[in-house]
Structure 1
Amino acid sequence: MMTQFIQKENVEATELDGEWILLNTDQLTVTKLNEIGGLCWSLLNNGQTGESLAQAISERFQPTGDKDQIKKDMEEFLYHLNECGLIEHVSR
């Protein structure tokens, strides 16, 4: 089974001109996301996996790229958000 992630409660997000600014209020860090990252962030208010995010990106932007590459990119994105303390594993 794939690991699901969800936004942490200590993060405030603001969208400005197509970019997203995430403020981790515990660690006082700021993370900036582009439009695709912002879409993923908004989806992360519910549990998501790299695969579910890749599916959402494919549906929204209809990229001609390799679906396996998009999934790999989304898993990397989740890894970085996790490293920044912005998301957490969904507990079952």
Structure 2
Amino acid sequence: MVQYIQVNDYETAEFDGEWVVLNTDKYTVTKLNEIGGFCWSMMKDAQTVDSLCQAIEQEFGRASDNLSEDIEAFLYELMEYGLIQHAV
């Protein structure tokens, strides 16, 4: 299974359930919702789509049919922004 991990320990801040990630390498700011911030914090260690989905379901009590698709799209965007990479 493919695993994902943060590229660097970028500065983050949480305000009223929304997260901001400051990519100091590319001078960008990425805003995440509560679930995105939760996933981001988990990716300090290598995670798979399945491990993230299970953690979301446990933490937020949310189980949806398309959760894994949503997480895959989210991870793709974070990779495009240079915030995460495939774990080795």
State the TM bucket, normalised to the shorter chain.
over 0.9
One-letter amino acid matched to 2:45: N
**Percent identity, aligned pairs only?**
53
Give the aligned partner of residue 76 of structure 1.
73
Contact 1:4–1:47 (Cα < 8 Å) also in 2: yes
Give TM-score, length-normalised by structure 2. Answer: 0.92
Shift of 1:65: 2.1
Aligned Cα root-mean-square deviation (Å): 1.2
**Unmatched 5+ stretches in structure 1:** none
**Quick check: 1:51–1:74 contact (8 Å CA) kept in 2?**
no
Amino acid at match of 2:69: K
Gaps of 5+ in 2: none
Length, aligned pairs only? 88
Change (3 A) 1:64 1:90: closer
Regions of 4+ moved over 6 Å: none
